[in-house]
Structure 1
Amino acid sequence: MKNRKIHWLWNVVIVLTLMVIVAAFMAHYKNWINVESNQFKILSGIYYKKINFTDVNKVEMVDKIPSLERINGFSVSETEKGIFKDSIYNTNVYIFVDKLSTQKIKVTYKDTLQLFFNVSDSLETEKMYTLFSSKLDSLSSLK
């Protein structure tokens, strides 16, 4: 029987591939939200959106996402993420939904642009909605 020599390069390629897969999963498994004094940032994998609070027209809680055409993104079980096309306004709609069965926050900004998001914990989604509403109320009182 011949001695088989395993090449070290293949071991390195396998380990690097597994590391990339784990990093991609970590980036997509939840929404990474950052709220600053005048900006809202949301990141999930390759999808990223930054919105100034001064550009926001309306924030509301909705049960369902309207029927939209997917440009790119993915759906897995209760998760829906990506960029969709609104055929009424012919604009892009960003969707960052971790759990489809719970309520989602709908943010309308710059008159016709929309963003839907939630997190897997419904109480945390409620807190985000309250924070968003209070930011909008404080901005409207300044005007």
Structure 2
Amino acid sequence: MGIKRRHRFWNVVVVITVIVCVLALTAHYKNWIRTNTNDIQILSGFYYNKIKFSELDSVLMVEKIPPMERLNGFSALEREKGMFREFKDSLTDKKVYVYVDHIPNPKIKLVYKDSLKLFMNLRDSLENEKMYHFLKNKKDSLPLQFSSKK
């Protein structure tokens, strides 16, 4: 009896598929946050936001995320990530970004550019608290900007 060999093409396809799945899992595994002197950058899988500290209107710590309609994204175990729309604000089509690594922990609510909202938290509650105080201090340390129309 002869041994039937698989085609190398299918072996390569299987290996590439496994690599792509591992990369996607790694990208969505946690929130990748980078802070600079002028902004904060949040990357989680396909979702990326860059918010300048000068655009921050408020930084709050909230226990729960309000009910929202998911436009795209996912929920898995204790993670919730994606783009949502609030039920009460469904006519204006304002997107709310959610980067939550641990649902039971408090969330940081950022309001920027007058009405855009972002909810985020980190897996570690101490790191989450540090991030909240860092963002709060950055927002509070900015000089007030008034627009005078004369």
Which amino acid counterpart does residue 7 of structure 1 have in structure 2? Answer: H
Q: Percent identity?
A: 50
**Structure 2: stretches of 5+ with no match in the other structure:** none
Give the counterpart letter for 1:24 in structure 2. A
Q: Identify the residue that residue 122 of structure 1 maps to in structure 2.
A: 125
C-alpha distance in 2 between matches for 1:42 and 1:56: 15
1:110 and 2:113 equivalent? yes
Q: Deviations over 1:77-133 (max 9, x none)?
A: 110000001243431000000001010000001111100000100000001011101
Give the C-alpha shift of residue 2 in structure 1.
Answer: 2.9
RMSD over aligned Cα, in angstroms? 1.4
Deviation at 1:35, TM superposition (A): 0.5
Aligned residue number for residue 59 of structure 1: 59
TM-score of the two chains, using structure 2 as the length reference: 0.90
Flag the 1:87–1:139 CA change in 2: closer, same or farther, 3 A.
same
User: Helix, strand or coil: the match of 1:21?
Assistant: helix
1:15 equivalent in alignment to 2:18: no
Secondary structure at the residue paired with 1:140? coil
Normalised TM-score (structure 1): 0.95
Q: Output the CA distance in 2 between the equivalents of 1:141 and 1:37.
A: 18
Could you tell me how far apart the structure 1 residues matched to 2:131 and 2:144 are? 20
1:6 matched to 2:6:
yes
* Cα distance in 1, alignment partners of residues 126 and 143 from structure 2: 26
Residue 11 (structure 1) shift: 1.2
> Which runs of structure 1 show a deviation greater than 4 angstroms over 4 or more consecutive aligned residues?
none
**Separation in 2 of the partners of 1:141 and 1:125?**
26
